[in-house]
């Protein structure tokens, strides 16, 4: 199918574009849908503390390493390792990333489909006057119905593919610059409404008053996995995006800004959701359905709730889109650069193959719920294994690669743009990626799985 012309590689157009696109990848369903329910299942505040700790001490260094590897190699997640470590098995990190893209986008597109249904229901004013119990029942009957969620999932994947096929600069960058600040505004508005609900204190206490007896090795692994998932690290998304970052950009600053935005939005989502959970008597550990039940309850109880629900689900959808694009891009960049496929063919093939996996996830919520492995249906299996196994493992090898395989000078040059910018944190960063991060990830991983 021909050869890829590397002199024609696409790239981001501006520094803010990089941050918007990468924050667009990071901020997604992971923050607004997954964080609250995983925190809810794992005891709340104590989980939050471990989560933030994981972001600062491990997530941020992994993110910077991904950017450095990608920008240094100017290649997709697989090709980057082939180029920087020819003849060595490091490219397997890229293989894992492509596998991860399939697993993540499969269940991600299921949930993104739910978001579209909920946007539709907002527009048709379907939540009005329903109490939390009714909203909970109707979410379950939708989720398990099969055909309707599959239809939304297909539409969502068409949208995702439609943007990816257009390339880097013209699609993602242009829209994320407008949409990400807007998303922040809407969440702040929801937060204000949530904390002024009667009974909100209990929800805030759940999120901010730690009960350390809730901590255990599996909970710590969940927090690490959630940090990785939320930051889009550990599977080559940010290696791929890093390869589109200009040589003059300061990748250390960008990584810090993106991590901060991602963490802030996750916490704000928690603040928007938990007060409502307690105010409306919903169980905080009610799993993946949590936001789809609590948010409509909030909208029912606020002035202009109708408009707010439309706005919110549109933005949730956009947040999902700007993330799913980045996942699909990993596979598409691989197919175009390594296999020489045209962008059109690569996008079509990747999207169809991923969607096929995704439909299994959607059906596992209803008709195929009985099909389980280790007590989890397909959806939960992909959700749990990708976040808690694949991403930490990917992160582990990425820091080993940057810390031990690449030379100190190579990494320092990449991060400081060959000494033209300052990186006072460099020694600390190097120490973390060489020692702290691999040991911490390794221990959390083994203890979390009960191996140690």
Q: Which residues make up the interface to ligand TRP (CB under 6 A)?
A: 25-26, 28-31, 104, 229-230, 232, 235, 237, 323, 326-327, 391
**How far apart are CB 90 and ligand TRP at their closest, in Å?**
19
Q: Which is nearer to ligand TRP, 112 or 276 (CB)?
A: 112
Q: Which residue is nearest to ligand TRP (CB)?
A: 30
CB 274 within 8 A of CB 166: no
Q: How far is the CB of 346 from ligand TRP (least distance, A)?
A: 18
Residues β-bridged to residue 377: 372
Nearer to ligand TRP, 84 or 237 (CB): 237
Helix or strand holding residue 373 (H, E) = strand 372-373
Alpha carbon distance 432, 441 (integer Å): 11
Compute the distance between CA of residue 287 and CA of residue 212 in angstroms, rounded to an integer: 21
Question: Would you call 413 exposed, middle or buried from its count of C-beta atoms within 10 A (0-12, 13-18, 19+)?
Answer: middle
Least separation in angstroms between CB 437 and ligand TRP: 17
Can you tell me which residue has the tokens 């505040």?
45
Whether the CB-CB separation of 225 and 292 falls below 8 Å is answered with: no
Q: Which is nearer to ligand TRP, 222 or 412 (CB)?
A: 222
CB of 362 to ligand TRP, least distance (A): 17
Q: Which structure tokens are listed for 58?
A: 């491990």
CA dihedral 243, 246, 251, 254 (to 10 degrees): -100
**Whose Cβ is closer to ligand TRP: residue 199's or residue 287's?**
287
Q: How far is the CB of 191 from ligand TRP (least distance, A)?
A: 18
- The residues that bridge with 372 in the sheet, in sequence order, are 377
Output 29 or 150, the one with its CB closest to ligand TRP. 29
Considering the complex, what minimum distance in angstroms separates the CB of residue 237 from ligand TRP? Answer: 4
Kindly state the smallest distance separating residue 420's Cβ from ligand TRP, in Å: 30
For residues 98 and 75, give the distance between their C-alpha atoms in angstroms, rounded to a whole number: 14
Q: 30 or 392: whose CB is closer to ligand TRP?
A: 30
Smallest distance, ligand TRP to C-beta of residue 164, A: 13
CB count in 10 Å sphere of residue 301: 14
- Identity of the residue, 363 or 391, whose beta carbon is nearer to ligand TRP in the bound complex: 391
Please tell me the distance from the alpha carbon of residue 265 to that of residue 403, in angstroms, as a whole number.
Answer: 30
Give 219 or 319: the residue with its C-beta nearer to ligand TRP: 319
User: Given the complex with ligand TRP, which of 31 and 122 has the nearer CB atom?
Assistant: 31
Q: Which is nearer to ligand TRP, 109 or 362 (CB)?
A: 109
For the CB of residue 225, give the shortest distance to ligand TRP in the complex, in Å: 10
Q: What are phi and psi of 255, to 5 degrees?
A: -60, -40
The distance of Cα 304 from the centroid of its chain, to the nearest Å, equals 30
Distance CA 102, CA 100 (A): 5
Residue 331: CB minimum distance to ligand TRP, A? 12
Let me know: does 115 contact 288? Beta carbons within 8 Å: no
Length of the chain: 452
Closest of 436, 35, 382, 17 to residue 231, by C-alpha:
35
Give the SS3 label for residue 159: helix
């Amino acid at each position: 199918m021909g050869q890829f012309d590397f002199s024609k590689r696409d790239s981001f157009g501006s520094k803010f574009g990089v941050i918007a696109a990468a924050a667009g990848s990071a901020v997604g369903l992971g923050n607004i849908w997954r964080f609250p329910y995983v925190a809810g299942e794992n005891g709340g505040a104590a989980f939050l503390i471990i989560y933030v700790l994981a972001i600062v001490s491990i997530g941020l260094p992994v993110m910077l390493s991904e950017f450095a590897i990608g920008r240094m190699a100017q290649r997709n997640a697989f090709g980057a390792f082939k180029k920087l470590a020819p003849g060595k098995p490091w490219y397997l990190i890229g293989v894992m990333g492509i596998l991860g893209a399939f697993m993540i986008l499969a269940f991600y597109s299921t949930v993104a489909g739910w978001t579209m249904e909920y946007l539709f229901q907002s527009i048709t004013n379907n939540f009005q006057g329903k109490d939390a119990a009714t909203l909970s029942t109707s979410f379950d009957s939708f989720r398990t119905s099969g055909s309707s969620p599959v239809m939304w999932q297909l539409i969502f994947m068409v949208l995702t593919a439609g943007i990816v096929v257009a390339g880097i600069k013209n699609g993602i960058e242009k829209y994320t610059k407008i949409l990400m600040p807007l998303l922040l505004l809407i969440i702040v508005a929801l937060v204000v409404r949530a904390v002024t609900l009667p009974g909100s204190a209990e929800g805030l206490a759940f999120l901010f008053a730690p009960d350390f007896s809730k901590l255990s090795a599996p909970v710590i692994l969940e927090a690490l996995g959630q940090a990785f998932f939320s930051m889009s690290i550990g599977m080559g998304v940010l290696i791929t995006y890093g390869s589109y970052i200009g040589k003059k950009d300061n990748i250390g600053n960008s990584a810090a800004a993106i991590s901060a935005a991602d963490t802030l939005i996750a916490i704000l989502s928690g603040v928007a959701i938990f007060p409502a959970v307690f105010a409306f008597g919903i169980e905080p550990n009610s799993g993946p359905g949590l936001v789809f039940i609590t948010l409509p309850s909030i909208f029912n109880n606020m002035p202009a709730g109708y408009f707010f629900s439309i706005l919110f689900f549109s933005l949730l959808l956009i947040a999902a889109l700007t993330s799913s694009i980045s996942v699909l891009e990993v596979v598409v960049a691989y197919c175009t650069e390594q296999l020489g496929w045209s962008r059109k063919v690569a996008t079509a093939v990747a999207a169809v193959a991923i969607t096929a996996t995704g439909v299994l996830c959607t059906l596992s919520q209803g008709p195929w719920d009985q099909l389980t492995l280790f007590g989890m249906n397909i959806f939960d299996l992909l959700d749990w294994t990708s976040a808690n196994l694949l991403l930490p493992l990917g992160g582990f090898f990425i820091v080993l690669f940057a810390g031990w395989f690449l030379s100190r000078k190579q990494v320092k040059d990449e991060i400081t743009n060959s000494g033209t910018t300052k990186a006072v944190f460099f020694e600390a960063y190097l120490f973390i990626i060489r020692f702290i991060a691999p040991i911490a990830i390794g221990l959390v991983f083994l203890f979390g799985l009960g191996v140690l």
